[in-house]
Each structure stands twice: as structure tokens, then as C-alpha cells.
């Protein structure tokens, strides 16, 4: 069975949102055209509590774009985004994919930065996606969504390491170019 895995297709990642990914609105039409050719569509959404460790607002004197060590690894701090129950955490309006067969939640543990559709940072928390795919006999996964250089790339790597045949649909992905330099 072959699945389309869409990541981060949420309002807060649209242009003007707090976790903006440039040109992300273009993905709606692309994903809508791709979805019917798959056995199932699965989503991976950011689901980060407002007091999440990756939000700059939760670190005194820090701002989005700065990098600090968290759990022994450098983490790029962000604006608060994709908080459960908020409008920004909802799927982007206009997506015509029906109800996803499964929705993996990335970043639900406030102490662990999101990593991929399969795991949070350090693989300390599974999202349940691998078990769902196994229960549905999914062997091939095409990945779309955003951000390409982060969770999309990590999801591809994790899928391969878990034994799935995986491919990133680059034309159906967008990335954010984050300027991490600080200016005084």
C-alpha cells in the first residue's frame, strides 16, 4: 500500500503566520492534485503547547531566530505557533484531502522539539505513525509539505531507517530560509 504523508499543512505556516514558510500557499493546489492517486493520505501536524521549550517567549531575554542548547543540542527558537486548539494549528483551508487516515502529532511533549512525523527530538517520543503504517501494510511513502529542510527531511530519513520505501516530492514541499544571525 502507498501513502501520501503531508507535513505541516497548517495555518501558522502560511505567509504572514508566526512560523511562515515562503510560498507555502502554493502547496494546497499541488497536494489536492496528488492526493487522489494514493491509497491513503496521512498528516503530521505540529501540536506544540504554548509553554513549549522551542518558543522564544518561554526563555527570558531570548527572541525567535536565536539558537540555544536544549537537551544538549542546538535548537532554533521560534515564535509561538501551532498551539493545540488555536486557529493557527488547523489544517490550511482549501485542502481537499478528506479526513486523513491518521494524524501524527509533532512536538506534543513540551520538553522535546519536533523532529519528524515519526519521532520527536532524540527519538524519545514516537508519534504512532510507524505503528499505524505497519497496521495498514503501508510499504511506500511519498512525503510532501513543510518545512522541507527540517521535519520533511527528517521524516524521510526516519522512514528509510524504519524500513519503508520513501521519497520526498520536492515539487510538493516548501522550506523556510531562516536568518539566524543577530544584529545589535
The tens-digit pLDDT sequence of the chain (184 residues) is 999 999 999 999 999 999 999 999 999 999 999 999 999 999 999 999 999 999 999 999 999 999 999 888 899 999 999 999 999 999 999 999 999 999 999 999 999 999 999 999 888 899 999 999 999 999 999 999 999 999 999 999 999 999 999 999 999 999 975 433 333 3
Which one-letter DSSP state was computed for residue 106?
E
CA contacts within 13 A on the Cβ side of 57 = 8
**What is the per-residue pLDDT for 176?**
75
Residue 163: left (phi > 0), alpha (psi -120 to 50), or beta?
A: left
List of domains in the chain? 2-49+83-173 (3.40.50.850)
* Pick from 7, 11, 5, 37: nearest CA to 174: 7
Does residue 64 sit in helix, strand or coil?
coil
Amino acid at each position: 500500500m502507498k501513502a501520501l504523508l503531508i507535513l505541516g499543512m497548517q495555518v501558522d505556516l502560511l505567509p504572514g503566520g508566526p512560523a511562515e514558510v515562503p510560498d507555502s500557499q502554493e502547496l494546497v493546489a499541488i497536494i489536492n492534485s496528488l492526493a487522489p492517486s494514493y491509497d491513503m493520505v496521512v498528516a503530521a501536524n505540529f501540536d506544540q503547547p504554548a509553554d513549549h521549550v522551542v518558543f522564544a517567549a518561554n526563555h527570558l531575554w531570548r527572541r525567535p531566530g536565536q539558537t540555544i542548547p536544549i537537551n544538549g543540542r542546538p535548537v532554533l527558537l521560534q515564535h509561538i505557533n501551532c498551539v493545540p486548539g488555536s486557529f493557527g494549528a488547523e489544517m490550511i483551508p482549501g485542502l481537499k484531502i478528506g479526513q486523513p487516515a491518521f494524524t501524527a502529532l509533532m512536538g506534543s511533549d513540551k520538553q522535546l522539539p519536533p523532529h519528524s512525523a515519526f519521532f520527536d527530538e532524540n527519538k524519545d517520543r514516537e508519534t504512532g505513525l510507524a505503528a499505524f503504517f505497519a497496521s495498514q501494510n503501508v510499504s511506500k511513502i511519498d512525503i510532501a509539505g513543510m518545512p522541507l529542510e527540517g521535519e520533511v527531511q527528517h521524516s524521510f530519513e526516519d522512514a528509510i531507517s524504519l524500513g519503508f520505501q520513501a521519497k520526498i516530492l520536492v515539487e510538493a514541499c516548501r522550506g523556510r530560509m531562516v536568518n539566524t544571525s543577530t544584529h545589535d
